[in-house]
Copies of this chain bind each other. A is one copy, B any other.
Amino acid sequence: MKLFSSVHDVTDINALAKEALELKRNPYSHTHLGKNKTLALVFMNPSLRTRMSTQKAAMNLGMNVMVLNIDKEGWALELKDGAVMNGTTVEHIREAAAVMGEYADIIGVRSFPGLKDRELDYSEDIFNKFVKYCGVPVVSLESATRHPLQSLADLVTIEELKTKAYPKVVLTWAPHVKALPQAVPNSFAEWMCRADADFIIAHPEGYALSTEFTRGAAITHNQEAALADADFIYVKNWSAYEPYGKVMPGNEDWMLTNEKLRATNNAKVMHCLPVRRNLELSDEILDGPNAVVVHEAGNRVWAAQAVLKRMLEGS
């Protein structure tokens, strides 16, 4: 594997999830693979889970890890080709990425969308330029439109906890006070559309995701109907795709509660975290027996380790 940026980079997602679970059982079975290999984790935005879990995954494989919080360290990158760099950017992504490729065997990159210019964000300009110029395998640590390590961990979690071959999985929009990217729901949707699941997306009017990611999913504005008999509920806020990045007032009643859980098949409740308590998800859910959000976060390690393992194997 040379690139892990979306579900399209994986031939068989079930085999990859299975490999992740195998690594969970035997974390240190491949420490030779990463010997003298270096992973560089480049963050243009803050991270807690992704940084820790990917770092741990790499260390489990015997790799060295270098973390660059490039946003915090005053290293403004120029992205535009042909730019006359007489302003505030100090280095072009062409050089920055290429140089990092000199020092790392695999690079992980995080870059959030600006949520101002949809075409720009959805072109994945920053991420793609990094891939183009760095010359080594790249794993997305969340890009403008996708968060594939999260989605793989989500798939792993569902595979691990499901009690039937073909569970009902609901992605439900949740309230928030800020405009958040569509990366996590986009990504979850495109993975679930290829997973062994009955997948349905519920959101208020005005929050339709790009059909590029949801093709094959059932979509409804009726949360109650969607939740009926659900085995897994994936809770997540996102801002509108059209008009891009907007947040409409209202819809506070979309927060998941125990009351709503009753109609489900004792559903497991998932969230990528961080979660705003009592806004996105109620205390009673998060502190109750149905929440699997911490377990899910734990699985980020094995998802990352499976991806890094394949990159190290060149397979």
Interface residue ranges, A against B (CB under 8 Å) = 27-28, 36, 38, 40, 46, 48-49, 51-53, 55-56, 59-60, 64, 66, 68-70, 72-75, 78, 81-87, 90-92, 94-96, 98-100, 102-104, 177, 273-279, 283, 286-287, 293-294, 297-298, 301
Contact = CB atoms under 8 A, between A and B. Distances in A.
Chain A interface, DSSP helix/strand/loop, else mixed: mixed
B98 A74 contact: no
24 contacts: A38-B56, A40-B52, A46-B73, A46-B74, A48-B68, A48-B75, A48-B96, A48-B100, A49-B99, A52-B68, A52-B99, A52-B103, A52-B104, A56-B64, A72-B73, A78-B277, A81-B283, A84-B279, A86-B177, A90-B276, A91-B273, A91-B274, A94-B277, A99-B298
Contacts of A51: 66, 68
A83 B280 CA distance: 12
Given A28-B36, A38-B59, A95-B293, 7 more contacts: A48-B68, A48-B91, A48-B100, A51-B66, A91-B275, A94-B277, A95-B273
**Residue among A66, A69, A276, A293 having the largest count of chain B Cβ atoms under 10 Å:** A276
The residue among A48, A75, A297 with the most chain B CB atoms within 10 A of its own CB is A48
Contacts of A53: 102-103
A52 to B, nearest CB: 4
Contacts of A55: 66
With a 10 A CB-CB cut-off, give which of A55, A99, A279 has the most chain B CB atoms: A99
